Structures are given as structure tokens and as C-alpha cells.
Amino acid sequence: MSSTGGATAKADADAKSVQPIMALIGRLFYVNGVGTAIGLLLYGTHYAHANKARQRSLKSGAPRLWLLGALLFLFVSTTVRCFLDTFSFFNQIYTYLVDNSSPLRLRGNLFVQRYMAVVVLANFSTPINYILSDYILVWRTWVLCRDNRVLLVILAFLALADTVLGITYLTVTALSTLEVLNFSTEGARLAALSSPLLVTFSFISLTTNVLGTTCIGLKAWKHYNTSKAVASRGAVLNILIVLIETGAFMAAIQLIAAILSILSSYGDKTFTSSEFIAIVFYEIALFTAAILPTATVIIVWSFNSLEVVIGVSDAEVNTRAVSQLSTLRFGENPRNVGRSGGQSLGYNSTTRSGTTRQG
């Protein structure tokens, strides 16, 4: 009886020791599984938009080469992230539940040694997507507000700071991972340094978006005041409104992500509900930074596919107002606009004495 009771007590003790480990594994699978599922769903949406943009660009040939390059890099970055997330999740399941080469309590360390580099490499896409998304926004604002040199200098500085901070964050994260894998004490110090870098990078990206969207909003307001004598607001104003709405939506996403990054960096490190929300929202913000610029370009191109016809008498509106309501060519070389009968953002054409002036 005593031996049986001792075996039962030992089994109960083993079960109690395993329960916290299994609970931790379950939380890991739940959080990473939800994040992977959201990533796959949003990647499908992004793939559909990217394919649509590719088909549209081949037909129209309108956008500049670097804009297509930025959209292409966004697609590549998002594709790599989706693949690595899925790869890491399934290997996490294999390491914890299938591989019996190490005790259950040590399988977390085994996973870190095998696949931590993959996890870190997947996280590289977050700042890359933010940087590319900001560059596309800066380009839009640059096209719209070419005459405002102070604004252009500020945007150029923010874009440079955005890039430097993003690259620095990636470098520090990679170095900290290598130190952790080599069991060096420097890994913890570098990991602690990466948190304020990520927060600063997030707010610089947010500032870039807010400034660019605000300038586009001012441009739309001026255009509305110029063209309010016309009954129809026209495609130009519609496109400006689309740019404002998408920029404001992305700014809201970035603000929430920045706040969550602060809470997760300096708050409790356990798997709480707020930590789970932060992880899920990071995944949404990552793919939104890729989907939104691509979808915006498609929407603008859809406006350009229709000719804008405005019938007004000379008594209702002057020549300048009519010229500003002509078809908008998003991403087209301004020198070719006059030949195609359209107007590029930021290049207003007015007719005086039979000549056309661009400025």
C-alpha cells in the first residue's frame, strides 16, 4: 500500500509540475495561431490588391517606376513575413508536441535555438512595411505641394529619420538575437535597447503620416474653395478625399500600435489580454501598411479610367476653375499630362493668351 501511495503521490506531483508548462504552451499556440490566421487572411487580401495593381499598371503604364518598385517591395516583404510566420508556427507545434529529444520543460529553449532567427527575420517586415508606406505618402505630398520648400525639407528629414531608426532597430534586434543564441549577457541589454528604438520609430512614422495627410487636406480645401462654383466636385477632389481618408486611417492604426508598443515594452511581460491584443494588432498594422497604399493606387486609377466631363457656362465658372477640375493622372510624368488631356496632382495648368503654364 505504501508503494502504491508513493507512486500516486509522485504522479500527482508530476502532473502539477507539468500543468504550468502545458498552460504556457497552450497560450503560445493560441496567440501565435490567431496571429498566423489573421496574417494569412490579410495576406490573401493584399495579394488580390497587388495582382490588381500589377494588371492595371501593365495596361495604363501611368505610374512612375519607383512607385511600382515600392509596391513590389511591400508585396515581397509581406510575402516573406507570411511565409516565415506560418513556418515558425508549425515548427513550434512540432518542437513542443512531437519532438521527444528533450524534456517538456526544455523544449522552449530548443525552439529558441532552432528557430529564433526565423522569428526575428519575420519581424523585419514590420519596420520595412512602415518605411515603404511612409515613402509612398511622402511622394504623394511631394507631388501635391512642390511649391512649399519648407514642407519638403521637413518631409525629407522625417523620411531619413524614419529610415535610420528602422535600420537601427533591425540591426539591434538581429545582434540581440545572436547574443541570446550564444548565451551572452549582452543579449538582454541589446533587447532592452530595442524597445525605445521601436517606440521612437513608431512615433516618427506617425508624425510623417499626420503631416503628409494634413498637407493633402489643406490642398483639398483650397481646391474645394476654387471649384465650389461647379455643381459637381469632380474626380480631382474625390481623389484628394480618398488620400485624406486612407492617410487618416493609417495614422489611427499607427497611433494605436505606438501606444501598444509602449505598454508591451514597459509593462508586464506575461501573457495577459492586453498583450494578446497588442500581438494581434501588430499583425493587423503590418498588413495594413502594405494593403492601404496598394488599394489607394487602385482607387485612384479607377478614377482616371473615366473621363471627367463638366458642362458649365462662362458666367458660372472661370477658366482656372475648369482647368483644375480636369482629369487627374496619379503617378504620371507631368510633362506628358498636357498630351493626354489630364492634370497631374500638384501641376495646375491655366490658359492665358493661348499658352499653357505649368507651375
Q: Which residue has the higher pLDDT, 10 or 54?
A: 54
Q: Which residue has the higher pLDDT, 348 or 101?
A: 101
Q: Specify whether domain 17-358 bears CATH 1.20.1070.
A: yes
Full-model pTM: 0.70
What is the structure's pLDDT at 308?
Answer: 36
Q: Categorize the per-residue pLDDT at 161 as very low, low, confident or very high, splitting at 50, 70 and 90.
A: very high
* CB within 8 Å of 305: residues ≥ 6 apart: none
**Residue 76 to residue 82: CA distance in whole angstroms:** 10
pLDDT digits (tens, 9 = 90+) for 180-237: 666 666 666 777 777 788 888 888 988 999 998 888 888 888 877 777 765 555 677 7
**Residue 287 to residue 41: CA distance in whole angstroms:** 10
For residue 46, the one-letter residue type is H
pLDDT digits (tens, 9 = 90+) for 267-314: 555 555 666 777 778 888 888 888 888 888 777 777 654 333 333 333
- CB distance 298 to 328 below 8 Å: no
pLDDT digits (tens, 9 = 90+) for 59-101: 444 446 767 778 888 888 889 888 988 888 888 888 888 888 8
* CB within 8 Å of 21: residues ≥ 6 apart: 104, 105
Please report which helix (H) or strand (E) contains residue 355, including its range: strand 355-358
What is the structure's pLDDT at 185?
Answer: 65
